[in-house]
Amino acid sequence: MFNHLSVGLRTVPASSRFLMGSRAFSYVPRSALTAFRAATPSTLNSSLAGRESTANIAMGSPLLAVPTMGLMSSLAGALQVRWKSRGHTFQPNTLKRKRKFGFLAKMRAKLGRVIISRRRAKGRWYLSH
C-alpha cells in the first residue's frame, strides 16, 4: 500500500509505524528535532561560553544533537503523538436507564411526581423514559 507515512514535513518509513486499531502512529526519533533548531546568537553565545569551541559548532557537535528544554517544550505540542482513544465511555443499558430515570422511579419520589404532573399539564406525549 504506502511505503511511507507523512509526519509533519518529513516522511517516516512504514517499518517504524505502530498500528493500534485503525490509526497509524509513528515514532519520531530525537535527531529529527534538531532540524527545527535555529542557530540564534543567544544559543551560539551560550554554547561558546559553555563546553565547546567554535570548531565543534561548525563541525556539528554531538552536544547540539540534543535540543534544549525550551525548544523541547515549544515543539512538544507540534510533534506530540496522542495514544489516548476517546468516545468509548458511554455504554448504554436500557434497564439501568429506566430504573433510574423511568416513569415508576419518578412516581416513587416526591420531586418525580411533580415533574410528571408538570409534563402532563404542559401536554407532553412522553412523560418519562
What's the pTM value of the predicted model, to 2 decimals?
Answer: 0.34
pLDDT at residue 66 in the model: 59
- Asked whether residue 64 falls in the same domain as residue 103, the answer is no
**Residue 83 or 61, more confident:** 83
- Asked whether residue 11 falls in the same domain as residue 53, the answer is yes
- In this model, does residue 10 exceed pLDDT 70? no
pLDDT at residue 32 in the model: 58
- Asked whether residue 70 falls in the same domain as residue 127, the answer is no
- In this model, does residue 36 exceed pLDDT 70? no
Nine-digit cell string for 60? 556539528
Helix residue ranges per DSSP H, 18-93: 41-49, 54-59, 69-79
pLDDT at residue 115 in the model: 98
